[in-house]
Chain A
């Protein structure tokens, strides 16, 4: 097993301008694997790839290639090659010379170079294009040359940084198939970076979902899709209904006001959880006795293969449903979810709790803001305490002077009947808030909390 590992990423961290880009990344990549780093833009996936390629040095941690530490080894001495997002072909060289560039630097005999270049041209289906000017090629052809140029050096690992993002959709799908075929034929390790979940699901043996510089989940495409481990992954990969629920006991979960059988165990009794149901896993039908819950269709859109419907349930939740049959808006329908299609996930936290300092009889300070609240008698000014605020008690205001704190919305998540937001304060602290209002990523909000909603307790 151990000698099977080609790339070993150990405790890699990277900070820039006081911001965390990567935080303690640990990952092992096997020989011949097709691994994809998947995440939204700015999540750190490209930085991780550049660290592997040697273009950036991590602040902490190391990359090992076949057990050898690569720290301090410059890119031109690493047996890895990269296909960049912008292909950056050399315009002063023709197609042949572009592909031969790396081999010429290594002083490979001309005959050998010729053989190798022709093989590469054949691999990317560009035979007869040797003498062409690279500027005369289409985007897809340029990308093929870039891939051939990287592969001509026979790297042990090929790094691909969103290589298909500049191509149009049809070309992208074709190239995905070709990349997969190349990988199977060559048997070398591919590390692929993308923000396109569909691409990741299509290509990869294994997907590494990254967000905010941390690995969220690692697994096969099917694992990631069917069993997302947190609401971020569930929301990022595919469409999903993410809902608040309560695990009543093993194999029994309550959400959207109903009890459902499920197959998850080990969460304890009456534990708050997140529940994920994929839109294609909800059965929709005319009302009958077998339905678990009822609702009225609000909208129905034809999506090619299926219809996408939004249904308001009797309990006031909005469910996204995909089905081959269409139900007109206004139709009263019944719905059913099978136990194996319910994915139960542990909640990261159920309540905001902050380290706070008591200022006087009725004021505390936390996250750099000053809040009024009722303070139990046993605490005096100067004591460090724990202040907790329920998600739905965090008041969001539009203007900075209306609140005690200002923050930016990140990762708004629709939970059937409300939005769950992460708010990053100026001091990089996180506050979670539940709200009915619609906020966009990066919206600026002011936070105010009513005195009665701040609960003060002893610090654990």
Chain B
């Protein structure tokens, strides 16, 4: 009886958590312009999304921008974060604790503050507001996540691995590419995935740093669209698809982590 209660409670909880997404997902398969009206099953919205790009070119451009920015930011922050983690690992005592603390602050800092402060900084430095500023901003808030996901793998690595490689005749660059990076690969990939998803769903920071040239990412497009009165129906299949992409990425990341921990235990 008690067990049944527990299970029901959990089921209700999960249902409530996922209801909005399920709702969007279900209604992405109907043509109705107004959300909530079921006018029969149809894949027309999906077809529109891919072949006619819904209401004009705006949506497609936004999707494109979002993915370009997410890829660039994830790529750059993976490199930066990995290097930073290596540096952190070599620090000792309070210096290391202090740096790790500093690394954690951007993650808990409200997005709106990160966004406004970056906007002011870019203005001050005369950085062109547009692609460059948005990508730089995304790198800023993605890097700490990469540091966090590379760190455990660095700690797991034998401390004298690098020395051993040098001893066997590897130049410092060879030691890095043939021995150190392969051992950190897992952490770097999961860091990349995390950074990619963080960049993908960002709104506040993008909103403040995109400037006035009319750069739209998905989040800013949807925001503008919603303010115009009523969501473009094609956004429903789009959001469903993005949710699935993110879900798959997270699953991949978790499976990787699980595999690594069981391997480390064996």
Q: Cβ of B263 and Cβ of A135 under 8 Å apart?
A: yes
Q: Cβ of A76 and Cβ of B166 under 8 Å apart?
A: yes
Distance between Cα atoms of A153 and B169 in the complex (Å): 9
Which residue on chain B has the smallest CB distance to residue A53? B167
Q: Does chain B have a CB within 8 A of A244?
A: no
Q: Does chain B have a CB within 8 A of A82?
A: yes
* Contact segment of A85-93, A275-283, A376-384: A85-93
For residues 118 through 163 of chain B, which have their beta carbon under 8 Å from a beta carbon of chain A?
158-161, 163
The residue that B168 contacts in the complex, of A55, A74, A92, A101, with Cβ under 8 A, is: A101
The residue that A88 contacts in the complex, of B161, B171, B185, with Cβ under 8 A, is: B161
Q: Cβ of A81 and Cβ of B183 under 8 Å apart?
A: no
Q: Cβ of B160 and Cβ of A88 under 8 Å apart?
A: yes
Q: Does chain B have a CB within 8 A of A105?
A: yes
Which residue on chain A has the smallest CB distance to residue B183? A92
Distance between Cα atoms of A67 and B115 in the complex (Å): 64
Q: Cβ of A91 and Cβ of B167 under 8 Å apart?
A: no
Q: Cβ of B169 and Cβ of A76 under 8 Å apart?
A: yes
Main secondary structure of the interface of B (DSSP, over half): helix
For residues 180 through 218 of chain A, which have their beta carbon under 8 Å from a beta carbon of chain B?
none
CB of B166 to closest CB in A, whole Å: 4
Q: Does chain B have a CB within 8 A of A356?
A: no
Distance between Cα atoms of A82 and B166 in the complex (Å): 10
Q: Does chain A have a CB within 8 A of B20?
A: no
Q: Does chain B have a CB within 8 A of A420?
A: no
Distance between Cα atoms of A441 and B168 in the complex (Å): 39
Q: In the complex where A91-B183, A92-B182, A92-B183 touch, is A102 in contact with B169 (Cβ < 8 A)? A: yes
Point out the residues of chain A lying under 8 angstroms from B12, CB to CB. none
Distance between Cα atoms of A89 and B160 in the complex (Å): 10
Q: Does chain B have a CB within 8 A of A219?
A: no
CB of A323 to closest CB in B, whole Å: 46
Q: Does chain B have a CB within 8 A of A149?
A: yes
For residues 48 through 93 of chain A, which have their beta carbon under 8 Å from a beta carbon of chain B?
53, 55, 74-76, 80-82, 84, 86-92
The residue that A76 contacts in the complex, of B160, B167, B182, with Cβ under 8 A, is: B167
Q: In the complex where A90-B179, A90-B183, A135-B263 touch, is A106 in contact with B169 (Cβ < 8 A)? A: yes
Distance between Cα atoms of A437 and B224 in the complex (Å): 84
CB of A285 to closest CB in B, whole Å: 54
CB of B173 to closest CB in A, whole Å: 11
CB of B256 to closest CB in A, whole Å: 14
Distance between Cα atoms of A286 and B174 in the complex (Å): 71
Q: Does chain A have a CB within 8 A of B4?
A: no
Q: Cβ of A76 and Cβ of B161 under 8 Å apart?
A: no
For residues 117 through 138 of chain A, which have their beta carbon under 8 Å from a beta carbon of chain B?
135-136
Point out the residues of chain A lying under 8 angstroms from B182, CB to CB. 90, 92
Q: Does chain A have a CB within 8 A of B170?
A: yes
Can you spell out 22 A-B residue pairs with CB atoms less than 8 angstroms apart?
A: A55-B163, A74-B166, A75-B167, A76-B166, A76-B168, A76-B171, A81-B168, A82-B167, A86-B160, A88-B164, A89-B158, A90-B164, A90-B165, A90-B179, A90-B182, A90-B183, A101-B165, A101-B178, A105-B168, A106-B169, A150-B168, A153-B168
User: What are the 3 closest A-B residue pairs judged by CB atoms, nearest first?
Assistant: A102-B168, A88-B158, A92-B182
With A105-B170, A150-B168 known, 8 other A-B pairs at CB within 8 A are A74-B166, A80-B167, A86-B159, A86-B160, A88-B160, A92-B185, A102-B168, A135-B263
